Structures are given as structure tokens and as C-alpha cells.
Amino acid sequence: MITSDQFRRVMSNFATGITVVTTHDSNGQPCGLTVNSFTSVSLDPLLVLVCFDKKLSSLQAFKDSKWFGVSMLSKRQEDLSRLFAKRDSERPVTLYFQGRLGMPLLKNSLAVMECETLDIYPGGDHLIFLGEVKNAEVLQVEEPLLYFRGKYRTLDGD
């Protein structure tokens, strides 16, 4: 029997990058969260997935808008990762710029995508959002923010 703590400990050995996934709520306000379950899925068509906790406060907004933005964070954006992993934190609108297709995206990210939600699959206590990539751009050449064994890391080990 594997406990959820043991599962977490094992999974924490799988190093990931960090994204902030965003959309608009029913009032047109940006909302979003820190996500490391982001994965590319297919080249033809271009598909990615993200897994959302069913308890996510902005879940309905993601379901309703049928679009999501992905901002891949640089090593200079650890504060943003923490901010978007904290419920009801203050997120000034100046953090965002509007993507070509209208999604709110984070300024100074490494790269961004805008995706249309094609399907939502059950995944235990999470939901798997499959998105078709409709816009994708590299914004700057900078080192990534990483997450490994429960800590933020950078490529040079800072």
C-alpha cells in the first residue's frame, strides 16, 4: 500500500519547470494558478495538457471560458510562482499582458501559449484539461525556474 505522502515523496524526484495557467472569469478579470503538471501531448494536432485540482477556486472560470493561457516562468519569477500558488493573493493587473488571442499572460515569462480547451477528462481528484495550442511564442532567452524535491531550483543550483 503506497500512501499519498510516499507518492508525493517519490514524485518530488521528478524535476519540472513551472508555469502559471490563466484565464478570464465571468467578470472578464484574469485568474489563474501555479501549475507544474503542464505537459505537451501531440504535435499533430498541437496539444498540451494541464491537471487541475477539483477544488480549484477558478475551476468554473476555466470550464466556462474554454481557453487557457500558459506562461513558463523564468528563474527571476519565483515570487510569481508563490503568488499564484496562494489562494486570494493580491495580483495587480500590471503583472499581465494580453496575448494575441486574448488570454491574460505573465510579463517577463520565458515563453507563452494560448490554448483552446478541447476536452476535460476525469483524473481522480483532478481534472485533465486537454488544450489545442493556438498561439505559442518565446518571449526571452533566460534560465527557467525549476521545482525539485519540494523546492524551487535553478539550473546553476542556486
Nearest-5° Cα angle at 99, 93 to 101: 125
The answer for residues whose C-beta is within 8 angstroms of residue 99's C-beta and 6 or more apart is: 69, 105, 112, 114, 135
The single residue among 23, 36, 74, 77 that binds ligand FMN, judged by CB under 6 A, is 36
Q: Of 12, 17, 25, 34, which lies in the binding site for ligand FMN, with binding defined by CB under 6 A?
A: 34
Among 41, 51, 83, 120, contact with ligand FMN (rule: CB under 6 A):
51
DSSP bridge pairs for 129: 50, 120
**In the complex with ligand FMN, which residue's Cβ is closer, 100 or 148?**
148
- Within positions 87 to 146, which residues make up the interface with ligand FMN, using CB under 6 A? 87
The verdict on 52 binding ligand FMN (CB under 6 A) reads: yes
Q: Which of 106, 158, 116, 94 is nearest to 137 (CA)?
A: 106
Under the rule (CB under 6 A), what is the footprint of ligand FMN?
18, 33-37, 51-53, 56-58, 85-87, 147
